[in-house]
Chains A and B, each alone.
Chain A
Amino acid sequence: MSDYSVIGKRVHNIDGTEKVTGSGKYTFDVVLPNMLYGKILRSPHPHAKILKIDTRRAKRLVGVKAVVTGKDTLGRKQGIWRRFPELCDEEILCRAKVRYIGDAVAAVAAIDEDTAEEALDLIDVEYEPLPAVFDPMDAIKEDAPQIHEGVELNININRHIEWGDVDEAFEKCDHIREDKFKCSSQAHVCMETHDAVASFGHNGKLEVWTSSQSSYYIQRLYADMLDMNESDIRVTNRHTGGGFGSKFELDSAQFCAAILSQKLCQPVKIVLTREEEFTATKRRTPMYYFLKLGAKKDGTMLAKEVRVITEGGAYTAMGATALYLTGFFSSFPYKYPNYRYDGYRVYTNTATTSAMRGFGAPQSTFVGESQIDMMAEDLGIDPVEIRRKNGMTPNYEVPGQAFIQSCGLHQCLDKIEEHIEKRGKLPPNHGIGVSAYGFMSGGIFNWFNTPYAFSAAVVRINIDGKVDVYTGTCDMGQGSNTTLAMICAEELGVRLEDVRMFSGDTGICPPDLGAWGSRQTLMGGNAVKMAAAECKQQLIEFTAAKMGVNIVYDLDIKDRWVHLVDRPERGVSYFDIVKEAIRGKDGVAIMGRGHYTPHRKGMISPAYSFGVQAAEVEVDPETGRYKLVNVTTAHESGTVINPVGIEGQLEGAIMMAGGYGFCEDQPMDEGKILNPSIADYKLIRSLDMPETDILEIDTYEPEGPFGAKEAGEGLTNPTAGAIGNAVYKAVGVRIYDLPITPEKVFKALKEKEKQQKKAKK
């Protein structure tokens, strides 16, 4: 692959200098002339009727310009599963009822934040508290309070996936395990909280600057909620201070800012506080997991049955997708000939659960990888071996679901085995746990019901040969602009510094579904590559005509040199050709268009990446405290476009996924999140961060641009399972519910001691 001139090189992110100098503008930094500041009043009750809202006192406060409630909206409900109106269930500004502590009931615009804050205290809301339910296991009971009208047993949505004959297969198994697990919630904790500056003009058009992962989704959802034409709404995503799955649904900052601005025809800025970020935005879906796994003596796994009940929180959001994906990825990365999944998403009076990096797969991987280790132990087989025996291979069809082309799982297993062998005999109370995973490269499903191509791009070459790329993709920090610019430069035969990116602005970029489900490199990349190829074709045709090349020769462009492929020394400068070609086109810049929508690629994703991770922990058996010593990951993501980017994704994923396994949690009391601050929400800081090593495996994905596929989100999947398995290897206790805290390890150690003593007697 070394004949690439841009791809695979270690480069600076194209927006790097803005980030290290502090000059990059985030929505957080946007200030417009005549701008007001907004604040949102939220429900203190987990479940209550709104009897009356009196805003008169607030409106009289000097400096307050507008106060709005649900009555000022059209009363529509938003949802990202737009194909299913019954799943569009979130008003954002509640009119009759609140369903969790944090539901928005009113919003204020004032001359500054302090005044807006003060006005919130002057809004009188009369509630009639209703019985509430917090745990999905309680919410599905006959006598549980009903959270949404007409939704029986509070079941928001269910999903079923099945292939083979599971019941018959279990009959043939030599050994069957049944296990229960519980996966906790997790907060995204983007360093930039949700924010928006919305500006309605007297011309009836809306402009919004917002920190987001999908400008197109936000634009479309605004259009639904405000009954406007999409094209009258311009959503611009500047630098975004992190997303991780939290920023592609219309949120309260965006909606309230727009409603307020509509009233006043003045720009309104709303920035959620850190506490609101923890309590009133969405979060990772907690899940109860029931697993049944059957295998032959030799470790061949014949059947798996999975039942899941998820805590949905108050609204559907993207939680329905998480329910589906956790079911699909529960079969990963193994070849189960027989498989059955039943998942139920249940409404509760808690903050809504939705998408978060990994999207249901960190949960399924934690439980699945824990259980497969237990199965291996039962059968007396090495953990790496059992994974090898059952692991997916290239060109494998997940029956009726998906087709996997490239797959480097077995090479990853080999590398991790080598790593463990090299580590040799471990010091006492150390353990290495292994966990394997796979993940998708963008979803095929279109529950959002977009009529557009999933990804699209326009490439324009200006008179000086410099290249502008317009794409609706969003760079939220994952570096997609750099990756896409590299793809464009490689395809077109120019240098990275020749390319300028315009992304995430619905006013100038073609729609793209945005940065979620690991879709930007493959889908956005294919669109950009196609657009660049169209430009290149025009330049090549022009050059061929101008040079009078014998038609048996092919031409190509590399490093700004348009030349004969077989005789590279015969060519002309790219810059000269661009000038002349534009003149030859009556002064029209060279333009190319590209798009990508997966067709005939199964139901889930056009491509999958795989990896195996080994986590080493050191446990103090006296206290249960443990340290993450090292996390080594063998990883394959097709052709590596941006190696610095991949390393960053990997290490960052370990911080987040390690946190999921190790310490992050959102304990609640009667629906109230008890740790809504960075001081109280424990996450991995620099001192807790383990050593991280990456072993990159070479694969090539035929469906991806230059052979590339997903890299970064899937890495959130394996770590919790690897930690669980490592703790077990170190001190022999198995933790079934996340996070694996020292307290739980300590308790389990005590319990184990008790059992051992009993056994001796």
Chain B
Amino acid sequence: MKKELKFKVNGQPYEIFVKPKTLLVEVLRDLVGLTGTKRGCSSSSCGACTVMLDGMAVKSCSVLALQANGTEVVTVEGLAKGNELSPLQRAFLDHGSYQCGFCTPGMLMSSTALLTENPRPTKLEIKEGIDGNICRCTGYNAIVRAVTAVVKGEYKEAK
């Protein structure tokens, strides 16, 4: 039996009918059509599907879509303001914090959530913040450098 899911994604309200077992990541990718969010394991252990739900980083493969009822979800597509990339996105570009890019949306969402909660994390806290995200390409250090640069104020928020 399908149920109604009302929530906002990147500021846009949606009303969608979903099966009780449908996962949040499925709704985002298949029904809303935002394919930036990836899936690397579907068992909550790689972080590729990380999105922000009411400001908190969650693994959207382990959240039922209906649990997102009434919430605001932000995906990687919601980070840029118009044609202005977010500070983290620009820092990732400058520091080569991605290679194949498959983990990148999840990495960006985990780091964005981290900075929302704790705008001045230490290096260790940054590493902890992305420890749930696997990256097979970069070796993480370039990601940590990018987040550090944002923390140091080297990238200003777009107006």
Does chain A bind chain B? yes
Q: Name A residues whose Cβ lies closer than 8 Å to a Cβ of B.
A: 12-13, 15-26, 28-29, 188-193, 239-242, 244, 273-274, 476-479, 644-645, 647-648, 650-656, 677-679, 683-687, 689, 691-692
Q: Determine the residue in chain B with the shortest Cβ distance to A655.
A: B139
Please, could you name 7 A-B residue pairs with CB atoms under 8 Å apart, sorted by A? A21-B80, A28-B39, A191-B136, A241-B38, A654-B139, A677-B45, A678-B46
Is there contact, CB below 8 Å, between A645 and B96? yes
Is there contact, CB below 8 Å, between B94 and A274? no
Question: Whole-angstrom distance between the alpha carbons of A338 and B104 in the complex?
Answer: 49
Minimum CB–CB distance from B109 to chain A (whole Å) comes to 10
Question: Is B27 on the interface with A (CB-CB < 8 A)?
Answer: no
Is there contact, CB below 8 Å, between A689 and B85? no
| B131 contacts across to A, CB distance below 8 A | 685-687
| B39 contacts across to A, CB distance below 8 A | 28
Question: Is B48 on the interface with A (CB-CB < 8 A)?
Answer: yes
Is there contact, CB below 8 Å, between A244 and B136? yes
Question: Is B157 on the interface with A (CB-CB < 8 A)?
Answer: no
Question: Whole-angstrom distance between the alpha carbons of A653 and B140 in the complex?
Answer: 11
Q: Give the top 10 A-B pairs by smallest Cβ distance, nearest first.
A: A22-B36, A477-B100, A19-B101, A241-B102, A651-B139, A22-B76, A655-B139, A191-B102, A477-B99, A29-B35
Within 8 A of A (CB), among B26-51: 29, 34-46, 48
Q: Determine the residue in chain B with the shortest Cβ distance to A479.
A: B99
Q: Determine the residue in chain B with the shortest Cβ distance to A653.
A: B139
Q: Determine the residue in chain B with the shortest Cβ distance to A240.
A: B100
Minimum CB–CB distance from B126 to chain A (whole Å) comes to 8
Is there contact, CB below 8 Å, between B42 and A273? yes
| Interface size of B in residues (CB-CB distance below 8 Å) | 52
Knowing A239-B101, A648-B96, the reply to whether A689 touches B38 (Cβ < 8 A) is no
Q: Determine the residue in chain A with the shortest Cβ distance to B30.
A: A31
Question: Is B135 on the interface with A (CB-CB < 8 A)?
Answer: yes
Which one of B35, B76, B133, B143 has the greatest number of beta carbons of chain A within 10 Å? B35
Question: Whole-angstrom distance between the alpha carbons of A470 and B48 in the complex?
Answer: 31
Question: Is B75 on the interface with A (CB-CB < 8 A)?
Answer: yes
Is there contact, CB below 8 Å, between B102 and A686? no
Q: Determine the residue in chain A with the shortest Cβ distance to B101.
A: A19
Is there contact, CB below 8 Å, between A241 and B100? yes
Choice from A26, A190, A683, A686 contacting B144 with Cβ under 8 Å:
A686
Minimum CB–CB distance from A33 to chain B (whole Å) comes to 14
Minimum CB–CB distance from A540 to chain B (whole Å) comes to 35
Question: Whole-angstrom distance between the alpha carbons of A89 and B46 in the complex?
Answer: 34
Choice from B36, B99, B136, B141 contacting A692 with Cβ under 8 Å:
B141
| A656 contacts across to B, CB distance below 8 A | 136
Q: Determine the residue in chain A with the shortest Cβ distance to B26.
A: A113
Choice from A15, A23, A191 contacting B134 with Cβ under 8 Å:
A191
Choice from B40, B105, B135, B139 contacting A22 with Cβ under 8 Å:
B105
Knowing A24-B101, A29-B35, the reply to whether A189 touches B136 (Cβ < 8 A) is yes
Question: Whole-angstrom distance between the alpha carbons of A656 and B147 in the complex?
Answer: 22
Q: Determine the residue in chain A with the shortest Cβ distance to B106.
A: A191
| B113 contacts across to A, CB distance below 8 A | none
Minimum CB–CB distance from B40 to chain A (whole Å) comes to 5
Question: Is B148 on the interface with A (CB-CB < 8 A)?
Answer: no
| B142 contacts across to A, CB distance below 8 A | 647-648, 651
Choice from B44, B79, B98, B139 contacting A19 with Cβ under 8 Å:
B98
Choice from A12, A242, A478, A645 contacting B93 with Cβ under 8 Å:
A12
| B127 contacts across to A, CB distance below 8 A | 686-687, 689
Choice from A21, A242, A645, A655 contacting B140 with Cβ under 8 Å:
A655
Question: Whole-angstrom distance between the alpha carbons of A28 and B49 in the complex?
Answer: 13
Question: Whole-angstrom distance between the alpha carbons of A648 and B96 in the complex?
Answer: 7
Minimum CB–CB distance from A475 to chain B (whole Å) comes to 9
Given A274-B40, A652-B99, 5 other A-B residues pairs in contact with their CB atoms under 8 A: A21-B36, A22-B104, A274-B43, A679-B44, A686-B133
Question: Whole-angstrom distance between the alpha carbons of A239 and B79 in the complex?
Answer: 21
| A20 contacts across to B, CB distance below 8 A | 76, 85, 89, 92-93, 98, 101, 104, 108
